[in-house]
Structures are given as C-alpha cells and as structure tokens.
Amino acid sequence: MDQSGSLEREELLKILGTTERVTPALQELDSDKDGHVSVAEFCQWAIRMYVDHDKDFSLDHLHYLEVCVSRMRASKQGESKVDGAASSPKISLKQASAIAIPDILRRATSAFLRLDLNGDGALDRGEIKTFADGNESVAKQMFIDLDANNDGKISNIEWQKYFIEKYNTKGGEFTLQALAVIENKLAAADL
C-alpha cells in the first residue's frame, strides 16, 4: 500500500483483518524475520505452497488473498467517496511487478531447464561448470550465490529465488538483462 516494495504488519492487518490471522501469516511469509515481507519472500512462499502441497491448494490461498485485498480496496474506495476525495493510487511499482515477476520466473525456469543437461531437476557442479565455459572459479561463485541450502545442487526454487531477490534488490531491468545474457549464452551453446 505504501509502495515500499514489501509488506509490513500494518498492511497485512488491513488486508487480513485480525491479529490472529496476521501473526501466523508473518511467521510463514517473513523468512528472514526482519518484520517485512519482500517480493522475494512472497514468491518463495507461493512456490513453497505449490511444491509442498499442490496447484489447487496454492491457488486457493492466493485467491483468498485476492478476495481480502478486493474487500479492503472496496472499503477504502467507499471511505474516499465519503470524504469527497478521489484517490489517485500509485501503481507504477505494482504494474512493474505484475509484468516483470511472471516474466522473470518464466525465463528463469526456461534457462534452468536448458541448463539441466541430465534432466534430474537440479543443477550440479558439472552443469554449472559447463555453463561457465569450464571456469572453476565462476562455477564455484555461482554455487555460493545459488545453492541456498548448501546441498551441492541448485534446485529450480533456489534458481528462481535468486532472480526474484535480484529483482527485489536491483530492479526489473537489471534482472531481465541478466536473464538475457544467460539466454544468449545458452543459445550460442545450442542448449
């Protein structure tokens, strides 16, 4: 609501309506426990819901949030009509997120699938080293940056999380350009 790029307790309270709903939501969404739910954390949560449960379960939860937001907006619009003030919402950040994030996730997943040479659903050191043109130090740094749970493999979720975090910290243009570089390199390697 404040265009900060993250959700705070007060915003969640306006959307969810009660502290009884907000407290567990923050516990679930705020993975770094800084009191803010970043775009990356929200996307991680949505991906976790899909992976841990199923498509219908995650869509039901997202639909519930959409209904809560719609109710809150309808209530807010009613208040501004009473006040006689026309609201002029700031939508540039929301519009950018609505366009960029699905594109980032789609392109990142496509690149991941092309990099996963053995098709096992994870990127291993050999696949990353191949992508890095055999450069061991580049491959090592990529693993440091991407292998969040240090299990020696990079999952699609870790891969997507990396790009969403880049979006959250560096912006959409930077992240889309980084993906374009990867896509061009994959195309040149005929992957």
Condensed to tens digits (0 to 9), the pLDDT of residues 85-140 reads: 444 344 344 445 556 777 888 889 899 999 999 999 999 999 999 888 889 998 99
Chain centroid, CA 138 distance in Å? 25
Does this model's pTM top 0.75?
A: no
State both tokens at 190. Answer: 């005929």
DSSP 151-177: SSSEEHHHHHHHHHHHHHHH-HHHHHH
CATH match of 92-188 with 3.40.50.11540: no
Cβ contact 125:143 at 8 Å: yes
pLDDT tens per residue, range 56-65: 887 888 888 8
- Domain spans, the chain: 6-83, 92-188
